[in-house]
């Protein structure tokens, strides 16, 4: 730390510790400083060496990345339908009591809670997801934020009564120094070799699709999203910063995220924004309706035109747009939706895309919107409760955090959540990958199976499967 900043830091820390001693009440201290360029993946690597749980976020459409180390504060409430409201209440209580020293107010600086939810709080948890509860948020001890070419470091520390000022100061300075190691990140040190690739019950998955199409013929259910799992085994433990770097380098227009719990790390590169809030501005996007990329520019354009004109895809897309619109109307004013979707292109796929913009009402928060939006018909189906019940009773997979909201909120009233698609649960030398498809009455199991194969491709390729 430069001298002037060092003085500021020690003065702020001392004042915060004084207030904790006076009130005899623990309090979160948060200090943000602007720093010189610092390598994000090296920060994550160092955090791993220090056995800090790691978090990572890279925006799909902005120059914005955050890497977190440690859990200064953890928020986790019981698995229930109103978990969103409870997380929101805990988050507000935490902020109310925090001592925040942050003159910048940039997104992702100050007190930031990163985390996520499981897909369905009512589905019993299996061993696969034992380290991931129904919801978990953490305020990292150290956050390296890269935004619009600038770098910030935030230090968060829960101060307890009777702690020694010198001990705390020294602890924070030592970790800060170690994490901000300026060495260049060497990502070619750990080449992963895949020893086995196992598709989990693909034939049963196709049978479930048949069952779903039959149910839809005889009930009011219009759409059910069904997902499946592929399990990989490697010759050694997978390296999280490496995987993240490859995802960021190869998956343009996608949110790249990671959340580590114990020995497991859930990560992915998802194209789907759930909701973004900046002050009162709210943006949600609908992404549903899928086609592959073409091999040439002409073929790509022909496929995009076909996707745009295709009634099945347009219908599927429209379900989602209507649902997002009505949810936004419940919590916002000035909701605007374009008349027609656009086609957005990703590495291996193209999707129909519609942005929905609005203004947040004063008494609502990003968590209220998440509670209304999740699961969108792109992940659950329509009508929502019937589709969810079908998934709960028939899908073999424990989705865990796959297909659910993952993201962050900060003390500047900014926040963003994506839908955790195109993702994998890394468990040292093993990984589970997930992909699903929207099933409608006339869906053909074999084509849906092929579609999941395309959706799995980007993650398989960064994990070393050709």
Ligand X SMILES: C=C(O[C@H]1C=CC=C(C(=O)O)[C@@H]1O)C(=O)O
Q: Which residues bind ligand X (CB under 6 A)?
A: 225, 227, 272, 287-290, 351, 378-379, 421-422, 435-438, 455
* Residue 346 or 408 having the CB closest to ligand X: 346
CA angle 138, 149, 151 (to 5 degrees): 45
Going from the C-alpha of 466 to that of each of 72, 191, 312, the distances in angstroms are 39, 13, 32
Give backbone dihedrals phi and psi of 184, rounded to 5 degrees, phi first: -70, 140
Q: What whole-number distance in Å separates Cα of residue 199 and Cα of residue 311?
A: 31
CB 374 within 8 A of CB 405: yes
* Residue 156 or 313 having the CB closest to ligand X: 313
Going from the C-alpha of 217 to that of each of 207, 372, 446, 448, the distances in angstroms are 16, 28, 19, 18
- Least distance to ligand X, CB of residue 408, Å: 21
Annotated binding site: 316, 451
Give backbone dihedrals phi and psi of 118, rounded to 5 degrees, phi first: -80, 165
CB 271 within 8 A of CB 253: yes
- Least distance to ligand X, CB of residue 293, Å: 14
* Residue 77 or 387 having the CB closest to ligand X: 387
Instruction: DSSP letter for 376, please.
Output: P
Please list the active-site residues. 223, 272
* Residue 180 or 227 having the CB closest to ligand X: 227
* Residue 101 or 313 having the CB closest to ligand X: 313
Tokens 């093993």 belong to residue: 430
- Least distance to ligand X, CB of residue 324, Å: 13
Annotated binding site for Mg(2+): 316, 451
Structure-block tokens of residue 117: 């939810």
- Least distance to ligand X, CB of residue 305, Å: 17
Q: Is the peptide bond before 383 cis (omega within 30 degrees of 0)?
A: yes
Structure-block tokens of residue 195: 């020893």
Instruction: DSSP letter for 130, please.
Output: T
**465 three-state secondary structure:** coil
Structure-block tokens of residue 105: 């107010």
- Least distance to ligand X, CB of residue 393, Å: 18
């Amino acid at each position: 730390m430069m001298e002037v900043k060092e003085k500021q830091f020690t003065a702020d820390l001392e004042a915060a510790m004084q207030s904790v001693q006076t009130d005899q009440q623990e309090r979160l201290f948060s200090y943000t400083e602007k720093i010189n360029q610092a390598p994000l993946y090296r920060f994550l690597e160092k955090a791993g060496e220090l056995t800090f749980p790691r978090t990572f976020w890279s925006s799909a459409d902005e120059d914005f990345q955050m890497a977190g180390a440690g859990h200064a504060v953890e928020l986790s409430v019981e698995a229930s339908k109103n978990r969103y409201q409870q997380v929101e209440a805990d988050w507000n209580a935490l902020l109310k009591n925090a001592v925040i020293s942050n003159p910048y107010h940039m997104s992702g600086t100050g007190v930031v809670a990163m985390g996520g939810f499981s897909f369905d709080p009512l589905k019993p948890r299996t061993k696969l997801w034992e380290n991931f509860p129904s919801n978990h948020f953490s305020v990292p001890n150290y956050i390296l934020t890269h935004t619009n070419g600038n770098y910030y470091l935030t230090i968060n520390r829960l101060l307890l009564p009777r702690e020694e000022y010198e001990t705390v100061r020294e602890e924070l300075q030592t970790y800060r120094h170690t994490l901000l190691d300026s060495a260049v990140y060497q990502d070619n040190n750990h080449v992963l070799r895949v020893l086995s690739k196992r598709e989990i019950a693909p034939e049963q998955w196709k049978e479930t699709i048949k069952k779903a199409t039959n149910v839809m013929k005889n009930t009011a259910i219009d759409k059910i999203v069904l997902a499946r799992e592929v399990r990989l085994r490697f010759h050694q433990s997978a390296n999280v910063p490496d995987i993240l770097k490859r995802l960021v380098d190869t998956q343009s227009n996608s949110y790249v995220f990671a959340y580590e719990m114990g020995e497991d790390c859930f990560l992915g590169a998802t194209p789907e924004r759930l909701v973004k809030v900046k002050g009162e501005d709210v943006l949600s996007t609908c992404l549903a309706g899928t086609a592959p990329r073409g091999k040439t520019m002409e073929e790509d354009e022909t496929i995009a035109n076909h996707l745009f004109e295709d009634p099945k895809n347009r219908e599927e897309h429209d379900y989602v747009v209507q649902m997002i619109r009505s949810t936004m109307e419940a919590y916002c004013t000035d909701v605007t939706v374009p008349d027609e979707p656009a086609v957005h292109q990703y590495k291996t796929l193209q999707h129909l895309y519609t942005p929905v913009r609005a203004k947040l009402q004063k008494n609502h928060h990003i968590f209220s919107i998440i509670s209304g939006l999740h699961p969108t018909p792109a992940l659950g189906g329509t009508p929502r409760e019937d589709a969810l019940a079908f998934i709960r009773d028939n899908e073999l997979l424990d989705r865990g955090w796959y297909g659910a909201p993952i993201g962050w909120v900060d003390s500047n009233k900014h926040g963003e959540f994506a839908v955790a698609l195109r993702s994998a649960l890394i468990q040292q030398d093993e990984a589970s990958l997930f992909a699903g498809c929207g099933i409608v009455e006339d869906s053909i199991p074999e084509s849906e199976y092929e579609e999941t194969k395309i959706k799995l491709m980007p993650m398989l390729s960064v994990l070393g499967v050709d």
